[in-house]
Homo-oligomer: A and B are copies of this chain.
Amino acid sequence: MSPSNESSTAAAAAARPGKVMTLESINKRVVNFEYAVRGEQAIRAEQLRKQLADRPGSLPFKSIVSCNIGNPQQLQQSPITFFRQVSALTEYPDLMKPENLPMTSKIFPSDAIQRAKELLVAMSGSSGAYTHSQGIPLVRERVAKFIEQRDGYPSNPDNIFLTAGASPGVQTVLQTLIAHDKVGIMIPIPQYPLYTASIALFGGNAVPYYLDEARDWGLTVEELSRSLAESRSQGLDVRALCVINPGNPTGQCLSLDNMRQIVDFCHREKLVLMADEVYQTNIYKPAELPFHSFKKVLKSMGPAYEGVELVSFHSVSKGTVGECGRRGGYFECTGIDPQVQEMFYKIASVSLCPPAQGQLMIEHMVNPPKPGDPSYELYAKENTAIYGKSRPESLRRRADKLASAFNTLEGVTCNAAQGAMYLFPRVRLSDKAIKAAEAAGKTPDGFYSMALLEATGVCVVPGSGFRQEKDTFHFRSTFLPPEEQMDQFIASIKTFHSEFMDKYR
């Protein structure tokens, strides 16, 4: 990444050591924060990918398998046809000109054409114009309707903010909450590194609560209370609780009872509840552990809980949509002071608007073809994997297969995924391996993950990037590789692991 191989840059640095911007002079928060998902392993994987392209056969593997990031379409999940048809039509409306329409109608179904026309009207006629900073009003109305149908409680488009993926939404709320350097934000450990990175950048304090690996990464209110009491006793002004459900990197799904306890905890302790629900359709045990939104649970608890402040996040990046590259997401505010929502708007307005193509994909996600529509049958097939190879059923099979494989490895245990896209196996490393890691200036799981990458081309993220209980080591791997590649993928990990264990025995 940004290597220093431009000779003029290097020469300049040498000629004039006193740059204005150096690691010593710049913002320490920028220097110190960590973001592992695109960290050392990902950078090395890019180098290896380039080497394979330039010199095929020069490495012990043929391709890089990017299991470091939930990037479904990179790993051959196909987009939903209807969604892309509408996108193409809004991108090039000339397809719908009278002279082209006869041909267009042979390729595009009538409901896609109708939807594209409707959306173009909602966008001043062009998908290239800035939209409302909070998002296209029509799309926010559709999101509110989707939420009402999902939860059975009202939703107001004025409380919906469309965003460039879930991440900038989370950052908007954190930036607003962190008013001084003693503000604490409760986050699960292990967590998605967006949280620790953003809290560090905004100058707050991550307040860790631990998920219980021995109980399927369960979240208990006892642990929340312990964590809160400890951090308050240290003088922190703890203001919010972040919950990721389904969990990332852990894949756990919260039960309804558990969620009620969490809402009650936030109410009692006066904490803003930040509900990261981007994996709400990646559910693998729908009978035992279906998805419930925190909005629904909160509303079901009655007027006593009306005051609870909740911000819920969703995204087009995951689930069967998997359109992460276009950066689309939204958050819904429940019980948030209207003046604070105006501040969210002001922050959004500095970035002018979320990407229009991301906003359109949100519309498609929350308003897919309905029974009777020309595109419904194909949509339903693609979405439920009656035929598809890369939809929820298939993902569940892959999750189970990979977890089983990890559990056969020496010193490795791995909980099954109840949701999301990841496994987070624990690896017990020998003292010799830990010392070798230390000598190499790496964390033990970073050392293991890098060795895995160099030997097999499989890129995972070390558990230290997500934080973990002291003296435990993990890595996060997506289970997105296509089913037909799964056996080979597992075989290469198995071979690597047994050689690694032998080497450091």
Interface residues of A in 359-394 (CB under 8 A from B): none
Q: How many residues of A contact B (CB 8 A)?
A: 126
A159 touches B2 (CB 8 A): yes
B81 touches A88 (CB 8 A): no
Given A20-B272, A73-B128, A35-B88 contact (CB < 8 Å): no
Does A13 interact with chain B (Cβ within 8 Å)?
A: yes
**What distance in Å separates the Cβ of A478 from its nearest Cβ neighbour in chain B?**
12
Nearest chain B residue, comparing its CB with the CB of A87: B91
A194 touches B350 (CB 8 A): yes
A325 touches B126 (CB 8 A): yes
B88 touches A2 (CB 8 A): no
Copies in the complex: 2
The residue from B22, B307, B325, B357 contacting A19, defined by CB atoms under 8 A apart: B307
A344 touches B2 (CB 8 A): yes
What is the CA–CA distance of A67 and B93 in the complex, to the nearest angstrom?
Answer: 25
B128 touches A326 (CB 8 A): yes
B9 touches A336 (CB 8 A): yes
Nearest chain B residue, comparing its CB with the CB of A306: B12
**What distance in Å separates the Cβ of A500 from its nearest Cβ neighbour in chain B?**
27
A325 touches B74 (CB 8 A): no
Beta-carbon contacts of A13-51 to B below 8 Å, as 1s and 0s? 101101111110111101101010111000000100000
A residues near B, CB below 8 A?
1-6, 8-13, 15-16, 18-23, 25-28, 30-31, 33, 35, 37-39, 46, 69, 71-74, 76, 79, 81, 84-85, 87-89, 91-92, 94-95, 100, 103-104, 106-107, 123-134, 154, 156, 158-159, 164-165, 167-168, 171, 175-179, 194, 197-198, 201-202, 239-240, 270-272, 303, 306-307, 309, 317, 322-327, 333-347, 349-358
